[in-house]
A and B are shown apart, each in its own frame.
Chain A
Amino acid sequence: MSRSNKKWFSLNLSRKQNDDSGTCGCGKTSGGCGSHSNDAEMSEEEFYHAAVNASIGDEREKDGFDQVFDVKMDRRTAFRKLAASLLIGAGAVNTSCSMLSSDESKEKAQIDWEEQFKGNYKLMTDDEKKNTVDRLVRSYQLRTGKTISMSSKNAEEDVLFGYAFNISKCQGYMDCVSACVKENNQDRNSQMQYIRIHEMKDGEGLKFDEADDNYYHEVPAEGHFYLGTQCFHCDNPPCVEVCPVQATWREDDGLVVVDYDWCVGCRYCMAACPYDGRRFNWSKPEVPEEEVNHNQHYLGNRMRKKGVMEKCTFCVQRSREGKNPACVEACPTGARIFGNLLDPNSTIRWVLENKKVFRLKEDLGTEPKFWYFMD
């Protein structure tokens, strides 16, 4: 096996020989894959070991399934065998096609392979996070020729993000919506938007069912007020609770994020969210290349794929750098206030302590970190 300091399986496609095992990249034991073939057929046991090695590599650090069970080498059991064959089987199609092609496509195939079988971001060490981010940046470069910057910055100490929305101020201009779409590289085809602005009639209270969240007329409309909703980054988020694979979780700074590469697309979180805060990529998301925001974060606005969940992250790529989310920055009326709830001198704290604030559906016990108030 490769002795390089990687913990995922490297295909070694561009290197001359596989020095340990007789497997070729696609994992077939006899006949070889694509162009090159193995002379000797391996016995079942040899194949088993090769496959195991292939799938887990030499490194014994935590990644993928090790993250959970942290098993030692000697506890190799049936599931590991299953793992190996599964990995190899799935990767076979992918890689066998690229045996003859250029170095670049080999590299691409290798990145795809490593990405397919990486672990859950939530459980990665900082090095692993950096590695996957590097791979993604490189992959984007290979695909489009453009360079992006992608961050894997962790939550800051002593930070808990909170958000307040001034119902009296919002005029329904929707600058926030458009800034959000631009900032977060949302799919243009399905017109995905994280934020919805509800136009409500004065004097009827918060009647969401009669509100219009898809208006297009001059605003503010006579006799109406506006209220925006998005993911509220609940402190007790039901969506996180129900995810079968922990592909979504609450970070230490309170952001509820999704690992797009770990999500299996069951949409249980969508059913569990009482606030319509989650969006699904029903088809491959598309953003015109010239409109792509190249300043990205792994948990934030990096390009998504089809069949995964996504949501507002309070613009993690911005907020973890000290900036305000794009919606806050874009709002021309100052209806949106964002800040650190743990900082006693922050403006968000002043709002919570001095204004009459409320949250939506507080009775559900979700503890949103998104408050509404009026002048």
Chain B
Amino acid sequence: MKQLKVFRSLVKDSFDVVTHGTVKYHIWMGFLTFMMLVGMYCYSIQLNEGLSVTGMTDRVSWGLYISNFTFLVGVAAAAVMLVMPTYVLHDVDFKQAVLIGEGLAVAALIMCLAFVIADMGGPSVLWHMIPGLGVFNFPNSMLTWDVIVLNGYLFLNITIPFYILFRHYQGKEAKSKVYVPGAILSVFWAVGIHLVTAFLYQGLQARPFWNNALLGPRFLASAFAAGPALIILVLAIIRNFTAFKIEDKTLKKIAMVVTVAAQINLIMLISELFKEFYAPTHHSESAYYLFFGLHGKDALLPWIWTAIPLNVLATVLLTFHKLRNNPKILYFSCFILFVAIWIEKGFGLIVPGFIPGPYGKIAEYTPTGVEIGVTLGIWALGAFVFTVLAKTAIGIELGELRFKNNKN
């Protein structure tokens, strides 16, 4: 009963915290709310008319939604890069960052699930997918694996930080015996969610662009670059706007993680490009389409040729200690790396899988306004969730939020 009371008080307190803030904070939250409303409006159009209001067709049957889903799974998985050093290797430097990282993972996962639901043709019969209620095609369908690992990871990433914050809220120390097993599990789980998501595509013999053993590892490498890059940016913002102390040392260590991952990612990219273009086969056509266009169809060219130079530039900048240690350059490189990987792993990965189609037909894909609206709405939802979580967590960690046993 006491726990429940504490929980109620926590919810009330955190509600107070998230509804109060500076003018800038209110503008930010107001903007996110507005974007979410726009997204909901667009989604209502989509619900009414069907997915025909999107740019997807029978030829390119997955688009912006699944692209973002794929990318965000990576962001979510990247929280592990902070969890492992903190909880398992007991590296104190990461301690402040880890809660933020896990909050980010939660937000990313919520966005993932929202993107999947937005992509469904029949959201009203989604209960068919709930194990027990519907028919769950486990273990044959990789999508069911994905449902399990994503929800499991969401659960882990909610419970672990919640436990720690809950203890801190009561002014107690969190018991490592309780959360360390969960943290270790979440390390494996994070690798799992991203590998499984890669397998989702990798296992399709129909799509040679995806049916490639490097896809899974490359997913991991790019995730461990883009995710922590985002965490660096977020930490920088938090450091700027709140009293939450994040030391330079922490940022530097995360930057190191980003660097190594970006380098590995680049090596894999080179390996992939070599395979596709040194001895091109019929199966290299998708890569040709992506990088050079096929038969005059070249919608993805501007995207990929933005992504590749940004990727290379960011990796080079990060590689030099001197540049990396300069916060401005670090933030800049993290930003362009994030953008580059978003393009590469979103659009650059999903759309060419369908182009050319199974019989070599080239039908291009351009997202429509409705699709973009829903996408922005979901990103706003993610940012909103993250802001709420982060504000509460920071409040507790700074000691501003404490359970007051004043009623008795």
Contact = CB atoms under 8 A, between A and B. Distances in A.
Q: Do chains A and B touch in the complex (CB under 8 A)?
A: yes
Interface of A: 64-65, 67-69, 79, 82-83, 86, 90, 116, 120, 122-123, 190, 192, 196, 198, 207-211, 213, 229, 238, 241-247, 261-268, 270-276, 278-284, 305-309, 364-366
Contacts of A196: 359
Contacts of B206: 238, 271-275, 364
A213 B359 contact: yes
A242 to B, nearest CB: 5
Contacts of B200: 268
Contact of A280 (B121, B140, B285): B121
Contacts of A267: 61-62, 119, 121
Indicate the member of A198, A282, A366 with the most B CB atoms within 10 Å: A282
B132 to A, nearest CB: 5
Interface of B is mostly: loop
B323 interface: no
Contacts of A268: 141, 143, 200
Given A229-B359, A245-B136, A365-B205, A263 B121 contact: yes
A262 B52 contact: no
13 contacts: A79-B132, A208-B361, A238-B205, A244-B136, A244-B141, A264-B125, A265-B120, A266-B121, A268-B143, A271-B61, A272-B204, A282-B52, A282-B56
Contacts of B141: 241-244, 268
A90 B133 CA distance: 15
Contacts of B203: 242
A307 B120 CA distance: 8
Indicate the member of A268, A271, A274, A284 with the most B CB atoms within 10 Å: A271
Interface in B159-180: none
Contacts of B326: none
A276 B359 contact: yes
A247 B121 CA distance: 13
Given A211-B359, A238-B206, A264-B129, A284 B50 contact: yes
Interface in B103-141: 116, 119-122, 124-130, 132-137, 140-141
A265 B119 CA distance: 8
- Interface size class for chain B? 35 or more
B49 A264 contact: no
B147 interface: yes
Contact of A273 (B51, B122, B142, B358): B358
A244 to B, nearest CB: 4
Contacts of A208: 359-361
What 5 pairs across the A-B complex have the smallest Cβ distances?
Answer: A265-B121, A209-B360, A307-B121, A274-B206, A283-B50
Contacts of A275: 206, 358
A347 to B, nearest CB: 28
Contacts of B207: 271
Contacts, number: 165
A306 B133 contact: no
A197 to B, nearest CB: 11
Given A262-B125, A282-B51, A283-B49, A244 B133 contact: no
B353 interface: yes
A245 B121 contact: no
A245 B129 contact: yes
Nearest to B49: A283
A250 to B, nearest CB: 13
Indicate the member of B58, B142, B143, B200 with the most A CB atoms within 10 Å: B58
Contacts of B205: 238, 274, 364-366
Interface string B195-233: 000001101111100000000000000000000000000
A271 B62 contact: yes
Contacts of A281: 50, 121
Given A116-B125, A281-B121, 12 more contacts: A79-B130, A83-B127, A241-B140, A245-B128, A245-B135, A276-B358, A282-B51, A282-B56, A283-B50, A306-B50, A308-B122, A366-B205
Nearest to A266: B120
Nearest to B119: A266
Indicate the member of B58, B133, B136 with the most A CB atoms within 10 Å: B133
B144 A244 contact: yes
A192 B49 CA distance: 17
Contacts of B182: none
Given A86-B127, A244-B144, A282-B51, A238 B204 contact: yes
Nearest to A119: B135
Given A68-B136, A196-B359, A120 B124 contact: no
B151 interface: no
A329 B26 CA distance: 68
Nearest to B56: A282
A283 B52 contact: yes
B121 A308 contact: yes
Contacts of A116: 124-125
B242 interface: no
Given A274-B358, A279-B58, A307 B51 contact: yes
Contact of A262 (B128, B142, B359): B128
Indicate the member of B137, B354, B360 with the most A CB atoms within 10 Å: B137
Contacts of B359: 196, 198, 208-209, 211, 213, 229, 276
Contacts of A265: 51, 120-122
A209 B132 contact: no
Interface string B36-51: 0000000000000111
B31 to A, nearest CB: 31
Contacts of B356: 209
A247 B358 contact: no
A210 B142 CA distance: 33
A263 B134 contact: no
Indicate the member of A86, A267, A270, A365 with the most B CB atoms within 10 Å: A267
Contact of B122 (A83, A190, A263, A365): A263
A122 B358 CA distance: 28
Interface string B333-364: 00000000000000000000110111111000
Nearest to B132: A79
A90 B124 contact: yes
A307 B360 contact: no
Nearest to A260: B122
A123 to B, nearest CB: 7
A192 B58 CA distance: 9
A206 B302 CA distance: 32
B61 A276 contact: no
A65 B361 contact: no
A280 B58 contact: yes
B57 interface: yes
